[in-house]
């Protein structure tokens, strides 16, 4: 009771302490998350010219995009595509607003008609677009409250329809905008005349070149300050995004030699009969082995990772690593175990026959409701289709001449109707299996009814070519995978290496354990794939986290199975490239600048011939040099040198010119002026076409470059 009384007496003090603690907690969280403190939205993927791209809407678009792109695409690929679309939409929207470009209601109706006039849902009985049907469809979509309805071959809900309409309107606005831009980029006759003169006015030159390579690199000293100065003088050329360099050691979960030997032993054990004790009957049962079994299909399906294929195959269709041996094996013979495509296999030849390598047939396809590719107007049931197919077979068996007419009347296969139902010579792999089985396993002249996923086919075999031996092979396949023992050993090895890094250098620790440390440089914040590791977004996110610094390491699981221990080796901030990173590309430029000055200091003569003699270089000539293609024969592209030459009089010699590959002195030996044209309209037209073709892309690139874009994708992906 005494304790309780003391607590009551100090209740105000306790409340104050608790309040201060809570306030401290809130402040700590605010300062940890500066966006919350200073108003930055946690729900904005990007901001473009003041327009926010909302995260929820963006994520919905990404999901739709990934569905469209298919299973082989990643969420990051879909995200990047949607981001590019949304940025473009925001940039162009501000342009449309400034210009007053909009899509009015009547224009929108015309656009929807252009986009959907071919959809049967919006056509009347005469096949003509009906605006009322479109309006009714949209109203029904709205009434479904977010649920989807079928349209053509896909499903769509009201929100997606609104998005589609917006995209159609945006497309119309862009076309109008681009038309306005293109109308203003035509070339004038004056520009056409300049273009003509640049190409057709020429100079004949005599020159001497003292190449930069004439001075050894070892004679030119380049300091770190030289590199830094050069970078600062060429900032646009050396701007870089934030990036990370890493080094990683991979620990793969792959089957060991012991695992493979155990796998092969397990396959060999299946060959012979096995005595197995039956817990239910308390008797010993005999399990028939692969060698003596008569039910090969059930045996394979019970013991194999790949199901039984009940088909005759040619030698070319057998696994290439064992094709010769298996093909020569007699019926009942077994080959293996052998390794093929990540499996160990046992193959037993169970039957043989003679098959052609190609067949020519004609057929009539009778579809039914539910058959693949059946048109909406097909109403025949599967039983009715079978009866009709049997009836047609009876007719063509008695009178094959009626086959073409019956193709025209009944067949739904548009790929062969115009040819009287014929398919010219084709291999066994071209048609669906039941169709192929009939045409390749029967004789010329045979007629039969075959059911496939497309319906019922009345098939007549017209011809066959080059019969040879084909075999039916029963193959037991076991996927080559690491055992639990191997998986545990891989985990242990990765863990030991990770623990060693607490005391050892990453590279040394890898070398000491005969492991390979692989470097990956220049990883960007939105990258997904790590060369050598595949899709590893988790590594990229970790590398760019605020708390991750150079020297930090971490273990990650890898998609193919196993682990990668990764260390950050370099962190580059957004801005100018540092001297060390830029040195590889900058050194040559700086050396050449210094070499140029060294060469200039040595030139004392004034004529081409004297300079060539003094410098021990040959005198060169170049004929018909023009400004449009400023190239010197023997030296390559040298625009500064050619430009200087065009400023000289005939017989005049230039001062030394620092070019791309060396220092030059040029003498103009002949001036060839271009003969003016009476009309430059054709050239103006050509220039206008080139400009208008490039305008659309270049205008958007320019708008994007000058746009104020805040990219927050790295927060969410």
Cβ atoms of 116 and 129 within 8 Å: the answer is: yes
pLDDT for residue 358: 93
Residues 60 and 76 in one domain: yes
Strand duo 202-211 + 662-672: pairing: antiparallel
Q: What pLDDT does residue 364 have?
A: 96
pLDDT at 548 over 90: yes
pLDDT of amino acid 28 = 43
One domain, residues 584 and 499: no
| 477: nearest Cα among 382, 347, 318 | 347
Mean pLDDT, residues 19-23 taken together: 45
Is the pLDDT at 654 greater than 70, yes or no? Answer: yes
Residues 219 and 268 both lie in one domain: no
CB 296 within 8 A of CB 474: yes
Query: What pLDDT, on the 0 to 100 scale, is given for residue 696?
Result: 84
Q: How far apart are alpha carbons 252 and 271 in whole angstroms?
A: 32
Q: Are residues 496 and 533 in the same domain?
A: yes
Q: In terms of domains, do 92 and 153 share one?
A: yes
User: Residue 387 belongs to a domain with what CATH number?
Assistant: 3.10.50.40
> 447-452 and 154-156 as β-strands: parallel, antiparallel, unpaired?
unpaired
Tokens of 484: 């639990």
CA-wise closest residue to 103 among 168, 180, 181, 178: 168
Would 190 be classed as within a structural domain? no
SS3 category, 705: helix
Cα 388 to Cα 405: distance, rounded to the nearest angstrom: 15
What is the helix (H) or strand (E) element at residue 150, kind and residue range?
A: strand 149-151
Do residue 562 and residue 501 come from a single domain? Answer: yes
Of the three residues 537, 555, 573, the one that is the final residue of a domain is 573
63 & 170 share domain: yes
Residue 663 lies in a domain: yes
The CATH number of whichever domain residue 525 belongs to comes to 3.10.50
Separation between Cα atoms, residue 354 and residue 442, nearest integer Å: 10
- Domain ranges, residue 365: 358-465
E strand segments, 484-551? 518-524, 529-530, 534-535
**Under 8 Å CB-to-CB from 72, ≥6 apart: which residues?**
none
Torsion, CA 547, CA 550, CA 551, CA 553, rounded to 10: 50
In terms of pLDDT, which residue wins out, 284 or 12? Answer: 284
Check whether residue 68 and residue 174 sit in a common domain. Answer: yes
From first CA to last CA, the distance across the chain in angstroms is 57
Query: What mean pLDDT is reported for the chain?
Result: 89
With beta carbons less than 8 A apart as the criterion, state whether 640 and 662 touch: no
| Residue written as token pair 């023997």 | 634
Instruction: Check residues 390 and 275 and name the one with the higher pLDDT.
Output: 390
What band does 21 get if pLDDT is binned at 50, 70 and 90? very low
- Torsional class of 381: left (φ above 0), alpha (ψ -120 to 50), beta (otherwise): beta
Q: What is the pLDDT of residue 415?
A: 86
- Contact (CB, 8 A) for 248 and 568: no
Average pLDDT for 157-165: 88
pLDDT at 35: 45
For residue 25, pLDDT beyond 50: no
How many helices (H) and strands (E) the chain has is answered by: 23, 29
The answer on pLDDT for 650 being more than 50 is yes
- Give the confidence band of 6 by pLDDT, cuts at 50, 70, 90: very low
64 lies in some domain: yes
Contact (Cβ atoms closer than 8 angstroms) between residue 245 and residue 519: yes
CA angle centred on 594, ends 589 and 599, rounded to 5°? 120
**pLDDT tens string 518-538:** 999 999 999 999 999 988 999
Dihedral sign computed on CA atoms, order 433, 437, 438, 444: positive
686, part of any domain: no
Q: Indicate whether 560 pLDDT > 80.
A: yes
- Same-domain check for residues 606 and 620: yes
pLDDT value at 623 more than 50? yes
Q: Is residue 690 part of a domain?
A: no
pLDDT tens-place string over residues 104-124 = 988 999 999 999 988 888 988
- Do 433 and 329 lie in one domain? The reply is no
Q: pLDDT confidence of 41, banded at 50, 70, 90?
A: low
Say if 589 falls within a structural domain.
yes
Q: How many CA atoms lie within 13 A of 140 on its CB side?
A: 12
pLDDT for the residue 1: 39
Identify the pLDDT of residue 48: 92
Question: Residues 50-56: what's their mean pLDDT?
Answer: 89
Query: What is d(CA 527, CA 525) in angstroms, rounded to the nearest whole number?
Result: 6
Q: Determine, yes or no, domain membership for 44.
A: no
**545 shares its domain with 652:** no
The verdict on 57 and 170 lying in the same domain is: yes
Q: What's the pLDDT tens digit per position in 668-678?
A: 999 999 999 99
Report percent pLDDT > 70 for the chain: 94
DSSP H helical ranges for 201-320: 224-233, 257-269, 296-303
Last residue of a domain, one of 336, 354, 372: 354
Question: Cβ–Cβ contacts within 10 Å for residue 11, how many?
Answer: 9
CA distance 176 to 111: 13
Run of H or E residues at 209:
strand 202-211
Residues 100 and 90: their CA atoms lie apart, in Å, by: 15
The answer, yes or no, to whether residue 361 has pLDDT greater than 70, is yes
- Lowest-confidence segment of 123-127, 315-319, 349-353, 620-624 by average pLDDT: 123-127
User: Model confidence at 488, in pLDDT bands (50, 70, 90)?
Assistant: very high
In the predicted model, what is the mean pLDDT of residues 258-281?
89
> Domain for residue 638, yes or no?
yes
659: helix, strand or coil: coil
Domain tally, the chain: 6
Sequence-distant (6+) residues with CB within 8 A of 114 are: none
Under the banding of pLDDT at 50, 70 and 90, the label for residue 31 is very low
């Amino acid at each position: 009771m005494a304790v309780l009384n003391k607590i009551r007496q100090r209740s105000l003090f306790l409340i104050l302490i608790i309040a201060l603690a809570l306030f401290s907690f809130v402040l700590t969280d605010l300062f940890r998350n500066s966006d919350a403190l200073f108003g930055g939205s946690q729900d904005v993927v990007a901001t473009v010219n003041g327009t926010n791209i909302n995260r929820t809407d963006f994520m919905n678009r990404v999901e739709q995009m990934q569905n469209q792109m298919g299973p082989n695409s990643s969420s990051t690929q879909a995200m990047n595509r949607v981001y590019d679309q949304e940025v473009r939409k925001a940039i162009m929207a501000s342009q449309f607003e400034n210009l007053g470009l909009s899509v009015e209601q009547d224009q929108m109706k015309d656009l929807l008609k252009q986009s959907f006039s071919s959809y049967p849902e919006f056509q009347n009985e005469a096949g003509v677009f009906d605006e009322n049907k479109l309006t009714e469809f949209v109203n029904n979509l709205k009434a479904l409250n977010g649920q989807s309805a079928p349209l053509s071959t896909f499903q769509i809900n009201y929100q997606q329809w609104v998005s589609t309409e917006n995209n159609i309107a945006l497309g119309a606005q862009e076309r109008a905008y681009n038309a306005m831009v293109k109308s203003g980029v035509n070339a004038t006759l004056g520009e056409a005349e300049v273009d003509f003169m640049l190409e057709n006015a020429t100079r004949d030159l005599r020159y001497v070149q003292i190449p930069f390579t004439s001075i050894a690199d070892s004679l030119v000293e380049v300091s770190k300050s030289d590199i830094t100065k050069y970078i600062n003088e060429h900032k646009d050329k050396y701007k870089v995004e934030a990036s990370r360099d890493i080094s990683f050691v991979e620990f793969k979960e792959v089957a060991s030699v012991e695992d493979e030997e155990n796998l092969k032993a397990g396959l060999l054990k299946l060959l012979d009969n096995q005595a197995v004790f039956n817990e239910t009957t308390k008797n010993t049962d005999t399990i028939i082995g692969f060698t003596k079994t008569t039910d090969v299909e059930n045996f394979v399906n019970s013991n194999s990772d790949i199901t039984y294929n009940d088909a005759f195959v040619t030698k070319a269709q057998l696994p290439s690593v064992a094709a010769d041996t298996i093909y020569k094996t007699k019926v009942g013979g077994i080959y293996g175990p052998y390794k093929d495509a990540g499996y160990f296999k046992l193959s037993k030849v169970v039957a043989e026959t003679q098959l052609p390598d190609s067949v020519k047939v004609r057929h009539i396809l009778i579809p039914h409701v539910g058959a693949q590719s059946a048109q909406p107007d097909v109403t025949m049931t599967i039983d009715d289709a079978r009866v009709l197919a049997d009836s047609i077979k009876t007719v063509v068996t008695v009178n094959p001449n009626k086959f073409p007419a019956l193709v025209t009347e009944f067949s739904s296969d548009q790929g062969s109707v115009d040819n009287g139902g014929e398919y010219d010579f084709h291999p066994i792999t071209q048609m669906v299996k039941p169709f192929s089985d009939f045409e390749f396993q029967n004789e010329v002249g045979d007629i039969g009814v075959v059911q496939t996923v497309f319906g019922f086919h009345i098939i007549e075999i017209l011809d066959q070519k080059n019969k040879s031996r084909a075999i039916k092979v029963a193959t037991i396949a076991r996927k080559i995978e690491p055992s639990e023992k191997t998986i545990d050993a891989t985990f242990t090895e990765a863990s030991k290496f990770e623990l060693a890094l607490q005391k050892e250098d990453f590279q040394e620790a890898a070398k000491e354990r005969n492991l390979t440390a692989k470097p990956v440089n220049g990883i960007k914040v939105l990258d997904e794939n790590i060369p050598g590791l595949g899709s590893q977004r988790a590594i990229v996110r970790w590398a760019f986290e605020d708390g991750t610094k150079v020297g930090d390491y971490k273990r990650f699981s890898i998609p193919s199975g196993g682990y990668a221990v990764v260390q950050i080796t370099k962190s580059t901030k957004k801005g100018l490239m540092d001297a060390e990173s830029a040195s590889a590309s900058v050194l040559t430029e700086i050396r050449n600048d210094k070499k140029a000055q060294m060469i200039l200091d040595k030139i004392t003569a004034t004529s081409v011939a004297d300079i060539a003699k003094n410098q021990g270089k040959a005198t060169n000539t170049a004929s018909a040099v023009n400004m449009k293609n400023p190239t010197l024969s023997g030296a390559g592209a040298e625009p500064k040198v050619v430009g200087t030459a065009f400023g000289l009089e005939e017989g005049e010699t230039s001062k030394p010119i620092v070019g791309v590959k060396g220092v030059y002195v040029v003498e103009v030996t002949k001036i060839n002026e271009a003969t003016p044209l009476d009309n430059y309209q054709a050239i103006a037209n050509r220039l206008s076409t080139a400009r208008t073709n490039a305008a659309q892309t270049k205008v958007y690139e320019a708008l994007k470059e000058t746009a104020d874009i805040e990219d927050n994708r790295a927060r969410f992906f």
